[in-house]
């Protein structure tokens, strides 16, 4: 028996209004839909994997994919009178641009959903030869505005957004990187004591998942186990070398030829700890704010050496000044 499934908005399928019906089959692993289109003969919608359906027209020239995915809103831009174009970093497609037709209308179902920093579950129409994907449905998973406003949390979240925007390419899928980003955002969307440490935790996963993971446990030049050396000589100086990437025991031979930066022992211990724990555990360890801030800066410089990303030092300096100078006390 054929039953009503849903009606696709005309703008979502290249100007064609579709009425979709489901056809139950005996094989539960295969799900087919048949679509009535007034402008075209009977068309077929086929599920190619979980939550992904493909709409196929008989002439093979018009094709759209209806897919559900999770995404982080990186940027929102006004488009025409009431619409908006948003950049999302998604789990299944990497960085994509989506269009919200009428999304800035206060009565729109998308109103307030696509604010920068929101982690969403979205249903998109993804078609061939299209740079903008219409959004059919969306719901908020996590939002930075959920807890009490916190400048440190907002600073950490927007720092993450800036990093992702500048280190990822269009439609470059990286599931592990997105999962690490989503876990970090979820951590920062609730009261968090160690916001800089959460950013450092993500930066370690970023360099690991993009192929530039630094050697942390062993000296990248000699192969010596660094913790063993520190136990014997706690005053030993360390150095984060860019190429080959990793931690090295500082020596006279390192400085002239290898590009890198000094790595204090306490910062190295923090980096080694973060490499082996989940982001949910960072509030359970005692961390010096200075060490976590320094580790963030060191790892961002390391990222910039292995990609086209340039660390926004001026912006970080302004944010640091705002955090350190909250303003004059209220007059009574």
Boundary residue ending a domain (65, 89, 109): 65
pLDDT at 276: 92
**Is 162 found in the same domain as 22?**
no
How confident is the model over 322-330, as a mean pLDDT? 50
**Is 296 found in the same domain as 281?**
yes
Percent of the chain with pLDDT over 70: 69
Is 329 inside a domain boundary?
Answer: no
Bridge-partner residues for 140, per DSSP?
120
How confident is the model over 228-235, as a mean pLDDT? 86
**Is 11 found in the same domain as 113?**
no
**Contact between 181 and 208 (Cβ < 8 Å):** no
Q: Per DSSP, which regions of 91-179 are E strands?
A: 94-100, 119-127, 132-142
Bridge-partner residues for 60, per DSSP?
none
Categorize the per-residue pLDDT at 53 as very low, low, confident or very high, splitting at 50, 70 and 90: low
Query: Which residues lie below 8 Å from residue 231, measured CB to CB, with a gap of 6+?
Result: none
Q: What is the pLDDT of residues 266-304, one digit of tens each?
A: 999 999 999 999 999 998 888 888 999 999 999 988 888
Is 57 inside a domain boundary?
Answer: yes
Q: Per DSSP, which regions of 80-191 are E strands?
A: 83-90, 94-100, 119-127, 132-142
Query: Which residues lie below 8 Å from residue 79, measured CB to CB, with a gap of 6+?
Result: 85, 99
Boundary residue ending a domain (142, 161, 179): 142
Q: What stretch of H or E contains 46?
A: strand 43-49
CATH of the domain at 285: 1.20.1440.120
**What's the domain count of the chain?**
3
Closest CA to 21 of 39, 3, 1, 47: 3
Average pLDDT across the chain, whole number: 76
For 305-325, b/e burial (b = at least 16 CB within 10 A) is bbeebebeeeebeebeeeeee
**Is 195 found in the same domain as 74?**
no
**Is 283 found in the same domain as 167?**
yes
Q: Decide the pairing of beta strands 132-142 and 63-79.
A: unpaired
Q: What stretch of H or E contains 19?
A: strand 18-23
Is 332 inside a domain boundary?
Answer: no
How confident is the model over 176-200, as a mean pLDDT? 92
CATH of the domain at 112: 2.40.50.140
Query: What's the CA dihedral at 176, 181, 187, 188 to 10 degrees?
Result: 170
Cβ atoms within 10 A of the Cβ of 69, count?
19
Is 331 inside a domain boundary?
Answer: no
How do the residues of the chain divide into helix, strand and coil, expressed in percent and rounded to 5?
Answer: 30, 30, 40
Is 198 inside a domain boundary?
Answer: yes
**Is 307 found in the same domain as 182?**
yes
Boundary residue ending a domain (102, 119, 142): 142
**Is 19 found in the same domain as 83?**
no
**Is 46 found in the same domain as 88?**
no
Q: What is the pTM of this model?
A: 0.74
**Is 243 found in the same domain as 120?**
no
**Is 288 found in the same domain as 240?**
yes
**Is 273 found in the same domain as 162?**
yes
Positive or negative: CA dihedral 145, 148, 150, 153? negative
Is 9 inside a domain boundary?
Answer: yes
* φ, ψ for residue 234, nearest 5 deg: -60, -20
Is 121 inside a domain boundary?
Answer: yes
Supply the range of the domain harboring residue 267.
151-324
CA-to-CA distance for 312 and 257, rounded, in angstroms?
26
- Give CA separation, 219 vs 225, 228, 265, in Å: 6, 11, 14
Is 171 inside a domain boundary?
Answer: yes
**Is 101 found in the same domain as 16?**
no
Residue 96 has pLDDT above 80, yes or no: yes
């Amino acid at each position: 028996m054929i039953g009503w499934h849903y009606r696709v908005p005309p703008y979502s399928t290249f100007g064609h209004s579709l009425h979709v019906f489901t056809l139950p089959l005996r094989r539960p692993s295969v799900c087919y839909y048949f679509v009535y289109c007034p402008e075209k003969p009977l068309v077929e919608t086929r599920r190619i994997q979980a939550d992904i359906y493909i709409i196929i027209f008989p002439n093979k020239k018009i094709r759209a994919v209806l897919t559900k995915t999770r995404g982080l809103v990186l940027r929102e831009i006004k488009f025409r009178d009431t619409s908006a174009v948003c950049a999302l970093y998604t789990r299944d497609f990497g960085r994509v641009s989506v269009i919200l037709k009428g999304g800035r209308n206060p009565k729109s179902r998308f109103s307030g959903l696509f604010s920068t920093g929101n982690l969403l579950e979205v249903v998109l129409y993804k078609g061939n030869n299209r740079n903008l994907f219409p959004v059919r449905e969306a719901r908020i998973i996590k939002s930075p505005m959920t807890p009490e406003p916190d400048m440190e949390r907002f600073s950490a979240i927007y720092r993450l957004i800036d990093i992702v925007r500048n280190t990822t390419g269009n439609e470059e899928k990286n599931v592990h990187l997105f999962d690490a980003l989503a876990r970090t955002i979820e951590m920062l969307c609730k009261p968090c004591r160690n916001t800089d440490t959460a950013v450092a935790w993500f930066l370690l996963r970023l360099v690991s998942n993009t192929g530039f993971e630094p050697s942390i446990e062993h000296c990248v030049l000699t192969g010596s186990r660094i913790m063993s050396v520190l136990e014997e000589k706690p005053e030993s100086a360390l150095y984060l070398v860019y190429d080959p990437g990793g931690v090295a025991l500082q020596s006279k031979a390192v400085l002239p030829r290898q590009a890198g930066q000094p790595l204090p022992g306490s910062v190295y211990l923090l980096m080694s700890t973060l490499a082996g724990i989940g982001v949910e555990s960072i509030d359970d360890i005692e961390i010096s704010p200075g060490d976590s801030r320094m580790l963030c800066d060191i790892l961002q410089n390391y990222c910039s050496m292995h990609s086209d990303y340039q660390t926004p030092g001026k912006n970080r300096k302004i944010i640091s000044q705002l955090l350190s100078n909250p303003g004059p006390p209220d007059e009574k």
